[in-house]
Structure 1
């Protein structure tokens, strides 16, 4: 029986901050693996700038030397809007002997009551919030992981790429992929 932490996101593009979250979860939660789970079509955000296939390829590039971190494309199989409750049910059906945790940023903890199907979701899975400076963690049902502050975001990386400047927090391998495929107006 494996203990697996699911870390969902748009990953548009993936960066070192995402890896830092994975390492904090592996160290503090003591799970066997972290699965990066890119959303196919996030219900609460603008559509991703890069296609699902490009985001998956960039994630594979990001984690190619990480033994305990893998990428799952489960959300692309259903297509349409990606609701976490449906994904969790699907994963539990496919892997009935594994235990799953769902990793969210500390900024999302207070937003959880607005998630689609949250009461059912809470009965299915343990949420793990990654605490950053300023995270309030009012919801005591969310397990807390502490992490160093990493000042990098996908939004700032896309802006830096559009301005033709060297992006902060983007591994060279991911930057090379972006340039090769002319993503983000690069």
Structure 2
């Protein structure tokens, strides 16, 4: 018998904010996830090097998880000295959790760019994909993604409980229009980030003088 599914949310988290957390909270509630694991990465494969150190980003992720029921931190990707490819993490997790459905949480922008990911065709061999979609917004899917959805899209969230992997579920979450880039820009202007990220994370940023205004 399968155990309840868990959610996996990876990212640079530079810094972690409500755009990461709110869709993950809604996915946990909607799908009955046993937990959501936050996986900060050390070397992101698809973007520039993080602004803050791995230690600082991990500290902020720990603070956010402590404020969010059902959220835990998984540090495995921070120990790698090479880019953190999602497929490598999912292979590890599947070996550790053979009887647990794994739901990899991602944004619609990531789904649209999936053909650029390392070994992207194999992701559904190890996990389900749970995509934070914008209500009322119809994305223009690339041909490869459209074909993937045709084979794996599910309208029944129980599929994510009955199977270890192999389904895509589009979440009807509340849209959150916030990026780490935009948040860093706001902080660099000396503006108040209140309600855009957990209070403990905002306090940490202020205490350590991160993302400071340019002199």
TM over 0.5: yes
Aligned length: 186
Q: Deviations over 1:98-150 (max 9, x none)?
A: 22111110111121122111122222211111101535264523211111111
CA-atom RMSD, angstroms? Answer: 1.7
Q: What corresponds to 2:35 in structure 1?
A: 33
Is the Cα–Cα contact under 8 Å of residues 102 and 128 in structure 1 kept in the other structure? yes
Tell me how far 1:97 sits from its aligned partner.
3.1
Contact 1:85 1:121 in 2 (8 A): yes
Q: For residue 64 of structure 2, what is the aligned residue in structure 1?
A: 62
Greater strand share, structure number: 1
Aligned to 1:173: 200
Q: CA deviation at 1:180?
A: 1.5
Stretches (4+) displaced over 6 A: none
Cα distance, 1:39 vs structure 2: 1.6
1:41 touches 1:82 (CA, 8 Å); kept in 2?
yes
Q: Which runs of 5+ in 1 are unaligned?
A: none
- After TM superposition, the score normalised by the length of structure 1 is 0.91
Q: Corresponding residue for 2:158?
A: none
**2:180 equivalent to 1:162:** no
TM-score, normalising length from structure 2? 0.80
Deviation at 1:84, TM superposition (A): 0.7
